[in-house]
């Protein structure tokens, strides 16, 4: 499980995928999210700009990202 520590109040979903190294670029993140391959807190999320806050959990390709303050 990858952990991302927030520097601000939130991080956007596309940025979180890049920060965790699960995608190489914003374009890759965009397509993965649009294709319904990413879950946030167990629900499929299709908005790249979805704001993630402390306590959120992202799942993508068998990997998990935990968002912490």
Average pLDDT, the chain: 97
pTM: predicted TM-score of the whole model, two decimal places: 0.94
Q: For residue 36, name the pLDDT band (cuts at 50, 70, 90).
A: very high
How do 38-40 and 63-68 pair as beta strands?
unpaired
Q: pLDDT tens, 21-32?
A: 999 999 999 999
- Give the chain's domains with CATH numbers: 2-68 (3.10.290.10)
Neighbours of 39 (CB within 10 A): 14
> Distance (Å, rounded) from C-alpha 55 to C-alpha 38?
17
- Provide the pLDDT for residue 59: 98
């Amino acid at each position: 499980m990858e952990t991302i520590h927030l520097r601000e109040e939130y991080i956007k979903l596309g940025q979180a995928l890049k920060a965790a190294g699960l995608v190489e670029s914003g374009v890759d993140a965009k397509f993965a999210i649009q294709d319904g391959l990413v879950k946030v807190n167990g629900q499929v999320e299709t908005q790249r700009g979805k704001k993630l806050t402390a306590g959120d959990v992202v799942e993508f390709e068998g990997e998990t990202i935990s968002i912490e303050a």
